[in-house]
Amino acid sequence: MTSRVGGAPRLALAACGLALAACAPRLKPLPGAPALAMLPRAELPAGHRRIVFDWQLDDRDLTARGEGAARVAPPDTGRLDFFLAGGGGSGAAVLVANELRLPSQAEDMSRRLVPPAPLLWASLGRLALPPARDTAVRVDGDTLRADIGLPVAWRLTFVRDTLRRVERVDGGRIVEWVERFPGARVRYRDEVRRRQLELHITRTDDVSGFDPEIWDLP
């Protein structure tokens, strides 16, 4: 009896999740001509950098904005800090290779702000996807697109040699994505949870290095 009662909420949650996922846009066929081109290298540029940005989060139950900074150390380490306007809260995330580290506090707002590691890296211009067994590439003018995985798990868009967009695909639907726009804007959207984070980069500084302790979170 207990297991049946306990299972009902879990089934309801699962059904709700499936319904939300069904609202995510379907992945369309790759446009352009088939190509054997190699994917451009999308790596962090040499040198330590501090990137300052404004951010805005639009969620189903709140809108928040503030300022933030990313400290980036190539080839594969970075930290992002978010500060809520008015001093009402903060959040942080550290990337080391393909590992995403968040603060241990359950109330930390990073859990709403930060996308998964591959998409967070994509927001900084680095391509870091999990291994996949198949890749299809098509070229349309100066735009190269690639589907990764069989079935497709990721779609990439490059304009010339610049990584512009990374989409995560599940069940033939685009469930979340990051796009890097000209004009120093970055947008992340979770199509299932109807959550969107937009960054506007206001300054990028070259620095000599960072204190190693910044890669540790409480």
Lowest mean pLDDT among 73-82, 101-110, 134-143, 189-198: 101-110
Q: What is the pLDDT of residues 87-136, one digit of tens each?
A: 778 889 999 999 999 988 755 678 778 999 999 999 999 999 998 889 99
* 151 upstream amide cis, omega within 30 of 0: yes
Per the DSSP assignment, residues forming a β-bridge with 143 are: 140, 159
Residue carrying structure tokens 């139950």: 61
Q: What is the pLDDT of residues 122-179, one digit of tens each?
A: 999 999 999 888 999 999 999 999 999 999 999 999 999 999 999 999 999 999 999 9
Residue 46 backbone phi and psi in degrees, to 5: -65, 150
Q: Residue 52: what pLDDT?
A: 98
Q: What domains does the chain contain, in order, with CATH numbers? A: 2-215 (2.50.20)
